[in-house]
Each structure stands twice: as C-alpha cells, then as structure tokens.
Amino acid sequence: MSESKNSSVPSTPRSEGAGKEITRRDFLNEITLGALGVAGLGSVAVTYQYFSPNVLFEPATTFWAGHPDLYPVHSVTFLQDQQVYIVRLPQGFFAVSAVCTHLGCVTQWKPDADQGQGQIQCPCHGSKFRDDGSKVEGPAPRPLPHFAISLTADGELLVDKLQNINPAQVLKV
Amino acid sequence: MATSFQSALQNIRETKVWKSIFRRGPANTNRTRSLAIFGNIFLHWLPVKVREKSLRVRASYYLGSISFLLFIVLFVTGILLMFYYHPAAPHAYRDMKDLQFVVSNGVFLRNLHRLAAHLMVFAVFWHMFHVFYRGGYKPPHEFNWVIGVVLLLVTLFLSYTGYLLPWDQLAFWAVTVGTNIISAMPVVGNKIRFLVLGGNIVGENALLRFYVLHVVILPLVAFLLIGIHFWRVQKDGGLTVKHKDEDGEE
C-alpha cells in the first residue's frame, strides 16, 4: 500500500492524474461504497414494493346498479355501499361521485334544500353541489366527477368508478 | 430510628454486590458525586452541576420535564392498553368499548392515556413558545432547537396515529380528511397516501399501519430524540437564563 503511494509523485493532486494514480485503498473504498450504495438503493426499492399491497380487500370499483326502472325520472338515489349517486333526469342517466372533492367526506343528498330543488351537501366543511355534481359553493375545489355508466346486455346499469367522463354525457335509456 | 436506617444503608453500601454495581465509594465529595452521575447509564446525560437560577420555576416552568413526564405516563398506560386491544377492524372498536365498560380500571387507563396525550401536545407547544420567547433557539442551542421542532412533529404524529385506533366515526373521518390532505401534495401525494393507508380507503390495512407507527416506530424515534435533546441541554451549557438575569428582573 505505502509502496504504491511512494512510487507515484506525492505532490501531484489526484485530479490532475485523471484517475490513473488511484491507490489500492482508494479503489477498494470506492467499489465498497459503490456496492453499499447499490445495495442501499435496492433495499429502498424493495421496501417500497413491500409496503405497496398488491391485493386489496376493498369494494369493487365496477358495479351493477340494477335495472333502470328502479329509478324514477327526476330522482337522485344514493348508493351507500358504492358512495355514488344515480341521477335520472328526463334526458337520461348519469352517475355522480358522492365523495367530496375537498377532503373526501361522503356527501348527502338533501331533497328539500335550495327551495325544494334539492342539493348535495357535505357534512364536513359545508361544500354544496347541484344534482349534476356542479359546484354551488366551496371549499371544494372541483365539481363532483361523473363516472362512466352503461347498459349491460341484460339491461342493467353498469358503473365504472375508475373511469371519469365528461358531465355532458348522459346515458339515454 | 434515623440513625439505624442510615447505618443499615451504610451496611448495604459496604457489601460486595453494591460495590460491584456502583464501583465507587460514598458520594461525599464533589468528585464522587460527579462519578455517581457519570457512572449511571440513566443519569449520565444529565448535568453534574446545575446553576441554582436555572432551577427556579420561572426559568423554565418545568415545561420540558412536564412533557417528558406525560410521555412516560403515555408509555406506561399505552403498554397496559395494548394487553386488551386488537388492531383489526371488527375488534378495535369493541376492545375500546370493553376497556370502558368491562375491564377493571380500563376506563381510567384509557382516559389517562387520552388526556395525557392532549396535555402533552399542549405542554410541548407551551414549551416551544417559552423557549422561543426566551431566545432559547439562539447559538449554541440551534441544533437542540431543531431536535425540539422534530420532537413536536413526532408528538403530533403520535397523537394523529393514536386518533384512528378507537375505530369510531370520529377516528375514521379524521383520518379520511387527514390522509386526503396528503394527496394534495404535488406528484407524490397519492403514492404517499396509498403507502400510509396501505390501500385506497381507510380500512384494515390503514388501522394496522397506524397501530405499528403508534406503538413501535414513533415511540422509538421519540425516545432517541428525547435522549439527544436532554444530552444537548447539558452540552450546550444548560438553560438560557442569562439574559433575564442581566436585565435584573429576577
């Protein structure tokens, strides 16, 4: 070790030697640190994977909402298990999320609010929405999203909560 | 009576066992009194000498000590509560109710834990304000101030993770709202929320994760930081009492 140090010019800084003057000690230090770094990054990645569950026992994000005749025209129906409103207006069906866009509380449909027109209200911080999910007042930053709704071959309504659609789209039955 | 007690104590101190544990003579000189502190693992990070002024109530209002005392109360009552609590979805709420209505002295321990937690948040904040207005963050105390701020955060995280464990409506919605605040973080918000909850909703995974954080990880971090905090008070030269004394107010 000391031999190799003495054989090189002692006064030359290592940077000027362009890496050629590397001693055995430096070399071993660097590969050890490099290996530890790789192992450390690997551990972080593997730990991150470990903490991200692959199988979840949560309610399904796609669900059947029953036959369209269950819902009268001009009605807002809250599906508690799915936290979705099925709204039926003369022009058709749409599905509105019942989860407030502010901080995730479950909103409630108040049929008598807003001079009898009905309103969706959040119990946590008082956000208000119309039956089409559009925002009346905050603190919610966005309107309630509309989920994709379709009719299956059996004539049942099918809602996909992972798919947001344009609120202008309605399902005509 | 007193003399016979003292002589009995003296006899114990003369025994081989006592001497093998403490390895020093009676604490009757400054040197042996110092050695008593240095040689004891539980005392060694405390100062050997303190100025009398720093012991006055108005120097600190003992707020740090009160916070630590509450932490010890929480540690002991928390361990006792763990004997009856299952961190799983159907059990957690029932176990909490059992502690209140069925277990002997359960309601006392649960309320002691709950109220001590509220008080600790209050005491830690008061401690911070007191230190701040005394200028206790100034050199050479900057590092200890930062440790203190981290300890404040650990206290708040302990409170927050403990809040979910009763598994009632209050707990559920508080954690729903709190973890949705996390997801407001740009880019990584939703990922962090998913990791904290162990899923997309506040469910069993979230309860278990909060439990492990509450009873293992955060208390370990707190103990470590409290140790450093106390040790640094001594190394940085004790409490900041100087300014007030020079003003002649005390």
When comparing pLDDT for A45 and A18, which is higher? A45
Q: Does domain B54-247 have CATH number 1.20.810.10?
A: yes
- Report the pLDDT value the prediction gives residue B45, as an integer from 0 to 100: 79
Q: For residue B53, what pLDDT is reported?
A: 81
Contact B200 A103 (CB under 8 A): no
Given a cut of 90, is residue A32 above it in pLDDT?
yes
Q: How many contacts, defined by CB atoms under 8 Å, are there between A and B? A: 32
Strand partners, A129: A120, A135
Q: Binning pLDDT at 50, 70 and 90, where does residue A2 land?
A: very low
Which pLDDT does position A28 carry in this prediction? 96
Predicted model pTM: 0.80
Of B194, B203, B204, the CB nearest to A52: B194
A 10 A CB-CB count for B51 gives: 15
* Segment A123-162, tens digit of pLDDT: 889 899 988 888 888 788 888 998 988 888 888 888 888 8
pLDDT at B224: 96
Nearest CA in chain A to B194: A52
Strand partners, B189: none
Q: What residue ranges define each of the domains in chain A, with the CATH number in brackets? A: 2-51 (no CATH), 62-165 (2.102.10.10)
List chain B pLDDT tens, one digit each, 250 residues.
Answer: 567 888 898 888 888 888 888 777 777 888 888 888 888 888 887 788 888 888 888 888 899 999 999 999 999 999 999 999 999 988 999 999 999 999 999 999 999 999 999 999 999 999 999 999 988 898 889 999 999 999 999 999 999 999 999 999 999 999 998 998 998 899 999 999 999 999 988 999 999 999 999 999 999 999 999 999 998 988 887 776 655 444 444 3
Q: Is B192 in CB contact (< 8 Å) with chain A?
A: no
Confidence of residue A11 (pLDDT cuts 50, 70, 90): low
Q: Which residue of A has its CA nearest to B170?
A: A124
Domain boundaries, chain B: 2-38, 54-247
**Per-residue pLDDT at B128:** 95
> ipTM more than 0.95?
no
Q: Return all residues near A110 (Cβ < 8 A) that are at least 6 apart.
A: A118, A119, A120, A121
CA nearest neighbour of B199 among A159, A102, A47, A55: A55
Give the 3-state secondary structure of chain B.
CHHHHHHHHHHHHHCHHHHHHHCCCCCCCHHHHHHHHHCCCCCCCCCCCCCHHHHCHHHHCCHHHHHHHHHHHHHHHHHHHHCCCCCCHHHHHHHHHHHHHCCCCHHHHHHHHHHHHHHHHHHHHHHHHHHHHCCCCCCCCHHHHHHHHHHHHHHHHHHHHHHHCCCCHHHHHHHHHHHHHHCCCCCCHHHHHHHHHCCCCCCHHHHHHHHHHHHHHHHHHHHHHHHHHHHHHHHCCCCCCHHHHHHCCC
A95-119 pLDDT tens trace: 899 989 888 889 998 888 878 788 9
Q: Do B177 and A56 touch (CB under 8 A)?
A: no
Provide the β-strand partners of residue A94. A87
Confidence check: pLDDT of A9 > 60: no
Of A52, A57, A102, the CB nearest to B195: A52
